[in-house]
């Protein structure tokens, strides 16, 4: 499956480079949803909530009322997860709160609805990063995948090293992750070419696409043909 991404900040749709520098900003969510209408699922990330500086709940509700959206950003309590589901999210994406300084945050994970939870394993320089990619953990995605399987229906794995840079992604890393779990796996971060999308789909990995489709590096009509 191909999953277009919508990132939210200050009530607008944005794309960031490396999670920091704003590359573009859009203000018409309905026009964007119309462009993505052929795709069965949209990924929505509330960057303000991820960074702990507010939330875009009204916009999340609007998007969820018009498309099937899995939603992440600031899911640090079970209450927040259930609030997003109540706002219409088909699934929630949890990342930072899944970990403590020494391992998994099992009380938090056990309180989530497993079949409607996706765990984000965003990785930079080989290690999982949290708190809006501001802090590194001692864990690698490969070593925690199997331990997290009882708590979720799938994983979102972002190759942060190339996220938003349009320089390609690390297909070998995604192959290793695919071999480490039988659950649904979604790749993100740096995916730039149709060949990369085809390679991910061939290994039964979903492709979450952001910057490449907003800038036109990937053509939506050509992507639709792969569905």
pLDDT band of 164, cuts 50, 70, 90: confident
Q: What pLDDT does 17 receive?
A: 84
Q: Model confidence over 56-96: pLDDT tens digits?
A: 999 999 999 999 999 999 999 999 999 999 999 999 999 99
Give me the residue label for tokens 């899944």.
98
pLDDT at 188 exceeding the cut of 90: yes
Q: Which of 122, 170, 172, 219 is catalytic?
A: 122
Residue 202 located in a structural domain: yes
Q: What is the pTM of this model?
A: 0.95
Please indicate whether residue 57 is annotated as part of the active site.
Answer: no
Please indicate whether residue 195 is annotated as part of the active site.
Answer: no
Residue 227 located in a structural domain: no
> What percent of the chain is predicted at pLDDT more than 90?
88
Residue 160 maps to which CATH number?
3.20.20.70
Radius of gyration of the chain (CA): 16
**Integer CA distances (angstroms), 26 to 23, 39, 56, 208, in order:** 11, 20, 14, 19
| Total number of domains in the chain | 1
Residue 161 located in a structural domain: yes
Q: What pLDDT does 181 receive?
A: 97
Q: What pLDDT does 20 receive?
A: 78
Q: Model confidence over 114-147: pLDDT tens digits?
A: 999 999 999 999 999 998 888 899 999 999 999 9
* Alpha helices in the chain, H assignment, sequence order: 29-35, 47-50, 57-66, 78-86, 106-110, 141-148, 171-180, 194-202, 211-214, 220-226
Which range of residues forms the domain containing residue 74?
2-222
Residue 88 located in a structural domain: yes
């Amino acid at each position: 499956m191909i999953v277009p991404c919508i990132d939210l900040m200050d009530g607008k749709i944005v794309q960031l480079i490396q999670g920091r520098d704003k590359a573009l900003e859009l203000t018409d969510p309905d026009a964007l949803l119309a462009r993505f209408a052929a795709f069965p699922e949209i990924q929505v990330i509330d960057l303000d909530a991820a960074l702990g500086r507010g939330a875009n709940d009204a916009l999340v509700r609007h998007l969820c009322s018009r498309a099937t959206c899995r939603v992440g950003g600031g899911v640090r309590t079970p209450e927040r997860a259930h609030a997003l589901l109540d706002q219409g999210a088909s699934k929630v994406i949890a990342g930072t709160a899944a970990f403590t300084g020494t391992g998994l945050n099992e009380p938090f994970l056990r309180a989530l609805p497993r079949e409607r939870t996706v765990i984000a394993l965003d990785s930079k320089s080989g290690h999982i990063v949290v708190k809006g990619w501001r802090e590194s953990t001692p864990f690698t995605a490969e070593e925690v995948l199997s331990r997290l399987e009882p708590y979720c229906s799938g994983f979102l794995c972002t190759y942060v090293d190339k996220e938003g840079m349009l320089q390609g992604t690390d297909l070998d890393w995604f192959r290793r992750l695919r071999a480490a779990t039988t659950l649904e796996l979604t790749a993100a971060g740096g995916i730039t070419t149709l060949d990369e999308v085809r390679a991910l789909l061939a290994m039964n990995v979903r492709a979450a696409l952001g910057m490449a489709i907003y800038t036109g590096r990937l053509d939506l009509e050509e992507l639709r043909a792969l569905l």
